[in-house]
Structure formats: structure tokens, C-alpha cells
Amino acid sequence: MALDDPHILKNIQTKLLIGGEWVDGVEGTTIAVENPYDGSKIADVAEATAADVDRAVEAAEKAFPAWRALAAHERGRLLLKLADRIEDEAAELARLEAIDTGHPIRDCLALDVPRTALCFRYFGGMADKLEGSVIPVDAGFLNYVEREPIGVVGAIVPWNFPLMFTSWKMGPALAAGNTVVIKPSEITPLSTLRIGELMMEVGFPAGVVNIVTGYGNTAGQRIAEHPRIGKVAFTGSTATGRRVVEASASNLKKVQLELGGKGPNILFEDANIPAAVGGSAFAIFHNQGQACIAGSRLIVHESIADEVLERFTALAKSIRLGDPLDPETEMGPLTSRLHQQRVLSFVEVAKGEGGQIMTGGKTPDGEAFAKGCFIEPTIVRAKPGDRVAQEEVFGPFVTVLTFKTEEEALAIANGTDYGLGAGLWTQNLTRAHRFAKQLRAGMVWINSYKRVHPASPFGGVGQSGYGREMGFEAMREYTQSKSVWINVDAQTPPFYRR
């Protein structure tokens, strides 16, 4: 590559943030971070081991008393300043995220960076808004409940939206008065490290935020099992989530899990077809389908199936694949070679189950795509019980199913172990409310899909995890209640008087 190549990043942070200092790992080893567009190495970041997590927890414990005691509006002020700095650095943050993850730069600029700033700003304003309550109890007593920070929070961030999920974890945790040890994915650590630099710039005290870049089976495992971490917040696969729960039992720490999904996206016979087709394409192909809330099961009423599939297939074929830094690119590469291979393996599974590959199912032709982790947008017709309609593929891979009745649509929609996001398209308002109520999901979108906002709770049920990101729900997730009783009569209860 030429030195002026736009894919080269300069002055990027590669060390661990512990106690306000950028340091190497104890063992001095590193992890290579690769560009999924062309396979080139972006950087070598420090590899955190269990010993480094221990150092980070010690720093977070040391910082906790002063951070907790800091006036809530002062904690909020720092988060607001951070949001401003993120907006100042929007172009460079978007470029960093695009190169590290394969997200198209247009999406990073329009969605990832603004949502990250918005999240920190929301919780900056929330810091001094969390209230306790007074409970009506027996005469002569005052009982009030206050919310207190948990202490040291361990956060484990996935590789699909590292910048955004960093804010989802740290925003409420810090606003509530906790200190944080956060581990980004070893595949995509760079934007989280840059957020750490911005936090130091705006004045976050040393040790309040600590960033450890390591592997899940070492650094992540130590966070989950650490006896002095009071809560772990994890986003990732359901299988890994189970291991986090097992490891957390060592000290019965609080656990929050945002796990996999197999989102049903139902199109009724009265759906606005052009809007539904466009929204359904966004639901599955945005970020190359690498989203837990992706609408990966397109469930269509048989009366409109032919028209929907014709339009949907044509749209999928028209999606522009290419260099994530090209503003015209609509879909970039998957984030790693290993994941590309995993998604392609499901194409073979679909064929083996008798599924019909309507488009895609392979890497795109052409030399421009040879080095990258690309997969064409893939549409497969299948049966509700097929593996490809039950298991999370986590790629630009959508399974098409049809139905005759509302009851059948509901049975298909609720027919997996997951329960994260779901969508439905109809012009019948009564049906929309009725059907939304019956869907087994933590979030339901009507005549839209994948809408998120810092004020709206985000999370799932079943094998999609428990706990909620965002909003007042998130502030409760990062605090614990304390009930305080006062005898306002200042007398001994009657049955103990002499």
C-alpha cells in the first residue's frame, strides 16, 4: 500500500487503558487486527491476559469511591463533553470503524457515530434524573428506597457494532456511578480504544474507565468470573452467554445478556409492498446482516408472496458491494474471514435441506472482491423447521417462509428459541396491536424495522438473553435498590415496651 492510501490508519491507539495510563500487557504479546476488505494488517494491539484484567479491576476499585461520590450532574457533564468530542471526531471515527469492521462509511456516518454520540448524551442527561421512591407503610414509619451504583462493572462488547455498543454499555454504567472494565472484541478493538482516548481528553478521572483488549477465553473469562466485579454486561452469541453465566456464579454477580436472534419479519396481505420490501432489505442486509436484531426470517402471506419475492430479489441483486470507504458502497465485507466461512456453510446446509437459493449464496465475482470477506445478499426459500430457519446465521442471509392465516404466521414467528426483535407490516391497526402483543419478543416494530433510540429499552427473552439496554431500564440494570426504614415516632415498638 502507498503511504497515502486511505485504508492506512495513523496514530491509532494500540495499548491497554488501565488506571488512566496507556500500557502494554503484562506478557507483552499482541493481537493482529485485520482489514476485512483486503486482508491487510491494520495494527497490532496489546493482548490483555487475566493478569491485566486484575490490574484493571484494581484500578476501577480504587477509582470507585470518588466517582460514586461525585455529584451526579458532574458525571453527566463529562458524558456530555464526550458526546461533543465524538461529534467533533465524526469523520475520523467513521473511517476507523469502516476500516476495522467493514461497515460502509455511509452507514458509519449516518448511523453508528451519531447513535454513539446520542447515547452518551442521553445518559449524560440521565445521570441526575434517576430517583428513588417512598413506600406507603405502617403509621409511624418512613420507608424510602434509593438506587445505588453496583461498583465495578465488567463489559464485553461484540465485533459487529463495536463503537455503538461501547456507548450502550458505558453510558448508563458511568451515569449511575459505576466504574468500568470493558473488553472490546479482539477482532474490532480500535474504535473502543479511540473512545478511551477521548474520555481521557475530556477529563474522566483515572481508573473510572479501563479498556482491556484480549481474547474471550482469557480476558473475557476473567471478567466474567472475577470476584470483585459486581456486574457483567455481555453482548454476543447465546452459547458464549451461557458460559458467562456459569463463570459469574463464583461471586453471584449480576449478569445482563443481549444474545442471539432469529427475527421474524411478517408481511400481511394488506402490507404496503414497496415500503415493506425496502424495510425488509434494510432489516437483513444492513451491516451485512451482522446484527442480532436482523429480520432474518421473511414471513410472507401467500397471496402476495410472488410479488414480494420478485421485488425483494431484484432489490437484493441491486445492492452495491465494495470498498467500505467508498461513499457509494451499500454493503461491505463481513467482519472476518472465519465468519465469512461460517455464513457460507449455511448455504450448503440450506441446499441439503432442499432449500431454494433464489439469489446469492456465494462470494461475488471479480478481482476486487478476491481478498475481502464478501458474500452476496442471499435469499433462501425454506420450511419453518429447517436449520436455516431456526439457527442464527448472522450474515446477509434471509430465509423466506409463507403463511395462509394469522394463526399460522404467529406459530412460525414464535417457533424458535429466540425472542429479540420482530417486525410486521400491515395497514390494519387492530391487527397490528393484537399481533404485536402475541409475539414472543423483547421489541416489535410495526411498518418499520431495526429502529433504536437511547430512551427505548432494548433486549430480548428466551435464548436472546435478559436485562435491558437503554432508557430508565438501563439505569436500573446498573444500580441496586436499598430500602431504608425510619421510625419517625422515635419510640420502641409497643410489644417491646416494659
Instruction: Give catalytic residue positions.
Output: 258, 292
**Degrees to nearest 5, angle at CA 91 with 87 and 93:** 75
Which residues partner with 379 through β-bridges?
359, 398
* Pairing relationship of beta strands 21-23 and 254-258 according to DSSP bridges: unpaired
Smallest Cα–Cα separation from 190: which of 394, 77, 45, 393? 45
Give the total residue count for the chain.
Answer: 498
Angle formed by the axes of helices 90-101 and 72-88, nearest 10°: 80
CB 253 within 8 A of CB 232: yes
Q: How many helices (H) and strands (E) does the chain have?
A: 15, 20
Write b or e for each residue in 215-242: b if 16 or more Cβ atoms lie within 10 A of its Cβ, otherwise e. ebebbbbbbbbbeebbbbbbbbbbebbe
Smallest Cα–Cα separation from 90: which of 72, 76, 111, 66? 111
Helix residue ranges per DSSP H, 258-355 = 273-285, 305-318, 337-352
DSSP string, 26-41: TT--EEEEE-TTT--E
CB 398 within 8 A of CB 360: no
- HSE at residue 448, side-chain half, CA atoms within 13 A, is 6
- HSE at residue 107, side-chain half, CA atoms within 13 A, is 22
**Degrees to nearest 5, angle at CA 229 with 224 and 233:** 55
